[in-house]
A and B are shown apart, each in its own frame.
Chain A
Amino acid sequence: MAKISLVVNGNPVNANIDPRTLLVQFLRENLRLTGTHVGCDTSQCGACVVHLDGKAVKACTTLAVMADGHEVRTIEGLAADGAPLHPMQEAFREHHGLQCGFCTPGMIMTAVDLVHRKGHDLSDHTIREELEGNLCRCTGYQNIVQSIAAGAKAMAKSDLA
């Protein structure tokens, strides 16, 4: 077993885990943060994307023990319970950026990371290139791209990063 302490969505977390526990397993099964999904489980689909020290990573291909001492942010950490949604979440709702919703947490975490790296004014081309590691099997992406472009702009005016 391995002792880990990390910060998840702003809260300190301590745990004693089997070193082979994946970060996504740890988030879902130990912390019950089930917003982060397991899609392909082979680092292709991006349903498991979370932020590790502010950078988008695939939680299905990261050991929880390697996140020891680091900071993790999941979809649950974007906006507080009961508070208004994060602008990127709101944009997905407004622009119908989801159908079944399975890929959505990963899409949104990838989109927020994209805005942090490339700013608020994103071309459709940039968004499509950057979504390379996120698969959606419902929407055909058009509405996701629109949502991200709108969410990126809305983030410029919001207090939520």
Chain B
Amino acid sequence: MYEFKYHRPATVRQAANLLLKNEDAKVIAGGHTLLPVMKQRLASPPHLVDLSHIEGLDGIEMKGRSLVIGATATHNSVANSAIVGEAIPALAELAGLIGDPAVRHKGTIGGSLANNDPTADYPAACLALGATIVTNKRRLKPEEFFQGLFTTSLESDEIITKVMFPVPKKAAYIKFRNQASRYALVGVFVAKRPSDVRVAVTGAGSEGVFRVTSFEEALKKRFSPKALDGMTVPSDGLNGDLHGSAEYRAHLIAVLARRAVEAATAKPDASVA
């Protein structure tokens, strides 16, 4: 790892000022993506701004009909939160599938979103549930926020503070894991919302997380695995690598989408919605 200067702001405002003042500074919270990348010398930020000591940034609460999760809430606290488990159990399950227990003790939802790894889990949940990503400057819809591989619309002094998830009627996430890395080879998040159905796919798209509108329309007419019978997705624009070809990933998307609908229909309707 190359040298860097370490900063520990006490507030989001201080953190933003540090980012503004120090060009190429990076934010760190759990560090479970950034540190491995720095150890490989693929990143060498001259300044690290540590958010982990800012108070009140890791809360989990219901606000009206939205579940609000603070940016530095760890995967472990989301996975085990009674509030998340009641409002959007699929989200708690998703968090519990990330990495391993020790990784979940450190990794954060804000970090996962800001990194926008094409195989990360949370982006699929945000896109399918129609979450709002709240920063120190503005509120962003997932379509505005995710901008392709490891790219977001976050400005250099912009920090995610929380994520707001409207509670869906039904939802489920099914992940086909890469056995070595535990990242999603393909992951499909299906959400039946009051007005529509959304199907978001992670792990497969060469530009990161995306929606399958043909599946969404079929499921809007009938929210059942049968609605997807015979439906496929083209392999154009999907990743192919040593873990699986683009055609294999396309096949997995259709299989996992059916399984996700099946899992979602097996759950009782959310009481809050």
Q: A residues engaging B (CB < 8 A)?
A: 2, 18-20, 22, 41-44, 46, 49, 52, 55-58, 61-63, 65-66, 68-69, 110, 113-114, 117, 130, 132-134
Contact = CB atoms under 8 A, between A and B. Distances in A.
A62 B48 CA distance: 13
30 contacts: A2-B6, A18-B3, A19-B3, A19-B6, A20-B4, A41-B39, A42-B36, A43-B36, A43-B99, A43-B102, A43-B103, A44-B180, A49-B102, A52-B105, A55-B76, A57-B102, A57-B105, A57-B106, A61-B31, A61-B32, A61-B35, A61-B36, A63-B28, A65-B6, A66-B50, A113-B101, A113-B102, A132-B101, A133-B100, A134-B100
A61 B50 CA distance: 14
Residue in B4, B50, B76, B100 whose Cβ sees the most chain A Cβ within 10 Å: B100
A18 B181 CA distance: 30
A153 to B, nearest CB: 20
Interface of B: 1-6, 8, 28, 31-32, 35-36, 38-39, 48, 50, 52-53, 76, 99-103, 105-106, 180-182
Contact of A20 (B2, B53, B100, B181): B2
A66 B52 contact: yes
Contacts, number: 75
Contact of A56 (B32, B50, B105): B105
Given A19-B5, A19-B48, A66-B31, A58 B103 contact: yes
A44 B48 CA distance: 24
B106 A20 contact: no
B113 to A, nearest CB: 19
A25 to B, nearest CB: 10
Contacts of A46: 100, 102
A133 B101 contact: yes
Contacts of B53: 69
Contacts of B6: 2, 19, 63, 65
Given A22-B35, A42-B39, A66-B28, 19 more contacts: A19-B3, A19-B4, A20-B1, A20-B2, A52-B105, A57-B105, A57-B106, A61-B31, A61-B35, A62-B35, A62-B106, A63-B35, A66-B31, A66-B50, A68-B8, A110-B101, A130-B101, A132-B101, A134-B100
